[in-house]
Amino acid sequence: MTATEDLFTPVHKGLRSMLYDLSARLQTNDFADVAATGALLVQLENDFAVARSTGCALCTMSHHAHAEESVVFPPAAAAANSLVTQLILEHHDLTRRELAIAQAGHELVRLDQADRRIAAGVRLNQAANQLLCAYLAHMDREEAELVPLMGEHFTNEQMVSMRDAIIRSMPPEVLFAFLNWMLPSLNVNELSDLLASVRLTAPPPVFKAISDLCTAKVEPSRWAATRSRVGI
Ligand SMILES: [Fe+2]
Ligand SMILES: [Fe+2]
């Protein structure tokens, strides 16, 4: 069996872009500026119980871990139980880090003095950098170790049905929050394959919504090349 579908790499590209963006904004933020700091920390909203905030980086990471654990890991565990067990433990570690950062953000905005907010901002940056390191290493492990195993043990059809199950499990606004980061993060080959597949399988309004999102978010020459390849 030599399946070529990859359930992890495209969405991880989007998550990397999201994390790089968050990191860039965190490390340049003036924590003395209450308004700018408040706006930035909205991205770190920690309402995991609801986890519906589409602009929320931590919520998006939580959704991703949940999708992997509920749809992909159970069948994958039959082929690679030890690896999947370790990946779940890594999810728990990442969640602890995400919650600690969200909590630190809430405490930071309650500080009255600018110099104390600046000092807390330094610590917040350090914690976010450590999360970034751990998160990048985790995604790399999924791609380097789990993707090849999935290719050996599952057919393309099985993996496409797992992807469909993930998509069906997400409220539309959450799905589009992922696509908002993923679409501009793909190269022209990946984007063309995705758009061609969506055109064949999704209802026309969904295809139009995704195409409109590409127009808004994908670098214009890459989107033009994709449209030419797909014939749209
Ligand atoms: Fe994961
Ligand atoms: Fe992942």
Ligand that lies nearest to the alpha carbon of residue 14, given by its number in the listed order: 2
Task: Calculate how far, in angstroms, residue 230's C-alpha sits from the geometric centre of ligand 1.
Answer: 31
Q: Residue for token digits 């993707």? A: 147
Q: Tell me whether residue 171 is in a domain.
A: no
Q: If you measure from the C-alpha of residue 189 to the centroid of ligand 2, how many angstroms do you get, rounded to a whole number?
A: 21
pLDDT score of 46: 41
Are 131 and 190 members of one domain?
no
Residue 45: band (very low, low, confident or very high) from pLDDT cuts 50, 70, 90: low
Q: Name the residue among 121, 81, 118, 116 with its Cα closest to residue 104.
A: 121
Could you tell me which residues come within 8 angstroms of residue 54 by beta carbon, excluding any fewer than 6 positions away?
A: 173, 174, 176, 177
Range of the domain at 210: 186-232
The model's pLDDT over 111-157, given as tens digits with 9 standing for 90+, comes to 999 999 999 999 999 999 999 999 999 999 999 999 999 999 999 88
CATH number of the domain within which 18 lies: 1.20.120.520
List pLDDT tens digits, range 153-170: 999 889 888 988 888 888
Position 9 scores a pLDDT of: 93
Task: Calculate how far, in angstroms, residue 151's C-alpha sits from the geometric centre of ligand 2.
Answer: 16
CA of 12 to the centre of ligand 1 (A): 9
Give residue 47's pLDDT: 37
The top-scoring range by mean pLDDT among 25-34, 57-66, 93-102 is: 25-34
Check whether residue 157 and residue 217 sit in a common domain: no
Which residues hold their Cβ within 5 A of ligand 1, which is an ion?
68
**Residues 38 and 103 both lie in one domain:** yes
- The string of DSSP codes covering the chain is ------SSHHHHHHHHHHHHHHHHHHHH--TT-HHHHHHHHHTT---TTT---TT-HHHHHHHHHHHIIIIIHHHHHHH-HHHHHHHHHHHHHHHHHHHHHHHHHHHHHT--SHHHHHHHHHHHHHHHHHHHHHHHHHHHHIIIIIHHHHHHHS-HHHHHHHHHHHHHHS-HHHHHHHHHHHGGGS-HHHHHHHHHHHHHHS-HHHHHHHHHHHHHHS-HHHHHHHHHHHT-
Tokens of 73: 């890991």
Task: Give domain status of residue 122, yes or no.
Answer: yes
Confidence label for 185 from pLDDT (cuts 50, 70 and 90): very high
Task: Provide the domain count of the chain.
Answer: 2
